[in-house]
Amino acid sequence: MALWLIGLGLHDASDVTLKGRAAVRRCKKVYAEFYTARLMGSSKDEIEATLGCDLTVLERAGVEDGGDALVAEAKTADVALVTAGDPLTATTHTDLVLRCRRAGVPVRIVHAPSIHTAAPGLLGLQHYRFGRTVTVARPSGGWFPTSPLEHLLANRERTLHTLVLLDIQAHLEYFMPAREGLELLLEMAKRLETDALGPDTPAGVVAQAGSLEPTLKTGTIAALMEADLGPPLHTLIIPGALHDVEAEAWASLAL
């Protein structure tokens, strides 16, 4: 008896590991959570066909408020929750692990490919040369935080790259495109009254990560905002100083 948190990976149903699929098949009930992220390359039906099970899709409340129901169910049977990406990159899943520990219910984690590791590598950048990751959220109401750019500039002062994740609100079918993310970074620069980031600043885009033909482009922010980057999901990287191999990789992906 355990709660199994199983990652589905980056792009489509075939991004799950053999371990993940085997685990799903031993579970009595399989829930899915697709609001923190979603597989853009497969429908629910395709995921079910690949995994060989029926999925019960949970709404946000089903995990965050109703997590205790999942935990209670896992006391007497193997129960799975499948999610896009790696299962432990969202706080809400860590919270679920803690609920299990408090209740004495074993948790089993099955990892999967994640954008955190994939995006830097796809652009040819070294992981140990990244500072903290930031997320650009869709502004709502009067709320417009500038902290993502502040963190990014602090990274760059230390010559470090920044992975910039873009907002996903899957329940609203909203997946922030690179263009909007770049626009928001420019707006943050304006509000911070800094010229440390502007239309001429170099940036990189990873789109459709995990597919066999992802879109990988580098260029100025202005040029990337005009480029056709294909369907979501999009992710940005703002580079710090580029080392030799990094610089060659960067140039090889220039618009």
Binding site for its own copies (CB under 8 A): 7, 9-10, 12-19, 21-22, 50, 86-89, 91, 94-95, 97-98, 101, 108-114, 116-118, 120-122, 124, 126-135, 154, 158, 160, 165, 209-210, 212, 214, 245, 248-249, 252
**Which is closer to its own copies, CB of 71 or CB of 112?**
112
Nearest approach, Cβ of 14 to its own copies (angstroms)?
Answer: 4
**Which is closer to its own copies, CB of 21 or CB of 225?**
21
**Which is closer to its own copies, CB of 109 or CB of 227?**
109
**Which is closer to its own copies, CB of 200 or CB of 248?**
248
CB 247 within 8 A of CB 210: no
d(Cα 110, Cα 103) in Å, to the nearest integer? 21
Nearest approach, Cβ of 199 to its own copies (angstroms)?
Answer: 26
Nearest approach, Cβ of 23 to its own copies (angstroms)?
Answer: 8
d(Cα 158, Cα 129) in Å, to the nearest integer? 10
Q: Of 197, 201, 196, 194, whose CA–CA distance to 218 is shortest?
A: 201
Nearest approach, Cβ of 200 to its own copies (angstroms)?
Answer: 25
Q: How many CA atoms lie within 13 A of 103 on its CB side?
A: 22
Nearest approach, Cβ of 38 to its own copies (angstroms)?
Answer: 17
Q: Measured in whole angstroms, how far is the alpha carbon of residue 218 from the centre of its chain?
A: 20
- Helix axis angle for 18-26 and 44-51, nearest 10°, is 90
CB 34 within 8 A of CB 60: no
**Which is closer to its own copies, CB of 111 or CB of 138?**
111
d(Cα 85, Cα 92) in Å, to the nearest integer? 14
